[in-house]
């Protein structure tokens, strides 16, 4: 089966090596995430959601208890206090990502998907436009193709190599169309953890594209300098960054890029005026035209202690720590063997930490080398108090390449199942030839080597059954 690494590691084992930051992160876990020890939980689903630190909740509780805050769309004292807080957090987010407020605008949204939808529905695709996107993309980016399709735009996918990296992307991007064109890709794959080349942003812009960089899986453990990378649009999800508050994300966009968007509707908060009797309206300027309704102003205040925590840790130090842990995880998985001595795990994506983040998708293999259903592995991990994730992770493009799914048979099964579709039925329809789902373990700020050991112990026990 193509698309996965099963090689034995050639580098010396680091499982007994003390990382220079290990003591710091042990103390941090004890201070901020002690509930993990109390619950005897090993949390390995950071790509699904980050974990909040105790200090975040304490700060937000104390902050709220001393303030009177109201809907910001007014001039009363409570509203003005809220507006001032939203503006202050906005400036803080700009600083965190090194985004110049003169060049970028920020729109708070419900999540990263909502930020993506704002751009997708308003992008002025035409029949001479081109929409180019990586095969490896979250469904929310993939969904933009429905807007492009309605306008008759050309849609092209950037192919992946067997280890799920972009295959010579500069050669496949091509030139923008005569009409407004969009290039979209993730800074880091939520499926495989691959870090795609950020210089593709500049290359795409040089070729006439507006560029959407999905940073949702990247920024929780990596520093991002928007001033240096320079995408036209970028989305973030704050709960993926630091766990709390949920239901809050943001669109960071160049002001010049926002200016070309054509909003298909208006809502409360997005207009200077509306006249029903005269059938006219005027959208607010720049990012204000995209702030649909009342923002989550109490949640926005809770962003500040999350940024405080990440800045205290330091993004370079966090990146290096999870890279160390990722190497331990890969070594642990690659060291697993079936009873016949052959590899017990298929890893989808790179088998090393070279240009990859702390997200690892894999399947456990039975005695005949067939993937054990991910549901079985996820359930066994859950019984042992280990949180991992199973499925295709809202990234069908990467999954199809990783699993080497046969296009014709896949389409036949999808059409046959229709409304009766479930992953187990889909697996049966394909005759068990392909995995149809995987297990994903992802690391973050509170992860420890012992969490990885607990997962490996679960997998070893399954291989022995």
Catalytic, 429? Answer no
Which of 235, 392, 394, 413 is an active site residue?
Answer: 394
Q: Find how far residue 339's CA is from the centre of its chain.
A: 36
**Confidence at residue 2, expressed as pLDDT on a 0 to 100 scale:** 39
Domains of the chain as residue ranges with CATH: 4-51+314-464 (3.90.1150.10), 67-311 (3.40.640.10)
CA distance 442 to 47: 6
**Confidence at residue 90, expressed as pLDDT on a 0 to 100 scale:** 97
Contact 123, 180 (CB under 8 A): yes
Q: Which two tokens stand for residue 169?
A: 């992307």
Low-confidence ranges of the chain (pLDDT < 50): 1-13, 15-16
Burial class (CB in 10 A: 0-12, 13-18, 19+), 354: exposed
CA distance 386 to 46: 12
CA distance 180 to 153: 9
The helix or strand, by DSSP H or E, that contains position 36, with its residue range, turns out to be helix 35-39
Query: Beta 210-214 vs 182-186: how paired, if at all?
Result: parallel
Contact 394, 340 (CB under 8 A): no
The alpha-helical segments, DSSP class H, found in 123-158 are 139-142, 144-150
**Confidence at residue 1, expressed as pLDDT on a 0 to 100 scale:** 37
Contact 448, 29 (CB under 8 A): yes
For the stretch 366-415, pLDDT in tens is 988 889 999 999 999 999 999 999 998 999 999 999 999 999 999 999 99
The DSSP secondary-structure symbol of 284 reads P
Q: Find how far residue 49's CA is from the centre of its chain.
A: 9
**Confidence at residue 16, expressed as pLDDT on a 0 to 100 scale:** 46
| Cα separation values, 150 from 183, 270, 462, Å | 17, 25, 48
CA distance 69 to 196: 42
| Cα separation values, 71 from 91, 250, 328, 358, Å | 20, 19, 48, 39
Please state the pTM of the whole predicted model: 0.92
**Confidence at residue 235, expressed as pLDDT on a 0 to 100 scale:** 98
**Confidence at residue 8, expressed as pLDDT on a 0 to 100 scale:** 36
**Confidence at residue 159, expressed as pLDDT on a 0 to 100 scale:** 97
């Amino acid at each position: 089966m193509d698309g996965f690494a099963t090689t034995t590691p050639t580098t010396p084992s680091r499982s007994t090596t003390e990382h220079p930051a290990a003591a710091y992160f042990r103390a941090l876990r004890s201070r901020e995430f002690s509930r993990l020890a109390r619950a005897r939980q090993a949390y390995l689903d950071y790509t699904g959601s980050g974990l909040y630190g105790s200090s975040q909740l304490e700060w937000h509780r104390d902050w709220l208890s001393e303030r009177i805050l109201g809907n910001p769309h007014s001039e009363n004292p409570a509203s003005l206090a809220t507006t001032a807080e939203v503006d202050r957090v906005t400036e803080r987010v700009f600083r965190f990502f090194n985004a110049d407020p003169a060049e970028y605008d920020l729109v708070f949204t419900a999540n990263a998907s909502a930020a993506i939808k704002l751009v997708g529905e308003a992008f002025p695709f035409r029949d001479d436009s081109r929409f180019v996107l990586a095969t490896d993309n979250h469904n929310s980016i993939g969904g933009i193709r429905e807007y492009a399709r309605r306008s008759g735009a050309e849609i092209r996918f950037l192919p992946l190599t067997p280890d799920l990296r972009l295959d010579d992307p500069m050669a496949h991007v091509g030139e923008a169309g005569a009409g407004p064109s969009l290039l979209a890709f993730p800074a880091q794959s939520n499926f495989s953890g691959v870090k795609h080349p950020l210089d593709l942003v500049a290359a795409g812009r040089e070729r006439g594209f507006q560029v959407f960089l999905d940073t949702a899986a990247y920024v929780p453990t990596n520093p991002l300098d928007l001033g240096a990378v320079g995408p036209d649009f970028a989305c973030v999800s704050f709960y993926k960054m630091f766990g709390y508050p949920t239901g809050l994300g943001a669109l960071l966009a160049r002001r010049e890029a926002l200016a070309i968007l054509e909003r298909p509707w208006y809502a409360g908060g997005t207009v200077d005026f509306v006249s029903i009797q005269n059938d006219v309206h005027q959208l607010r300027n720049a990012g204000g035209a995209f702030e649909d309704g009342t923002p989550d102003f109490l949640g926005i205040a809770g962003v500040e202690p999350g940024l405080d925590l990440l800045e205290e840790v330091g993004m370079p130090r966090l990146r290096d720590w999870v890279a160390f842990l990722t190497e331990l995880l890969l070594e642990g998985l690659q060291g697993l063997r079936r009873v016949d001595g052959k590899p017990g795990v298929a890893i989808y994506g790179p088998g090393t930490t070279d240009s990859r983040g702390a997200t690892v998708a894999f399947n456990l293999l039975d005695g005949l080398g067939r993937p054990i259903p991910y549901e079985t592995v996820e359930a066994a991990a859950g019984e042992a108090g280990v949180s991992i994730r199973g499925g295709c992770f809202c990234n069908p493009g990467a999954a199809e390449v990783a699993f080497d799914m046969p296009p014709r048979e896949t389409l036949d099964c999808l059409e046959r199942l229709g409304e009766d579709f479930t992953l187990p039925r889909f697996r049966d329809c394909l005759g068990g030839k392909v995995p149809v789902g995987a297990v994903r373990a992802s690391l973050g700020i509170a992860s420890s080597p012992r969490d990885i050991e607990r997962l490996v112990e679960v997998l070893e026990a399954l291989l022995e059954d």
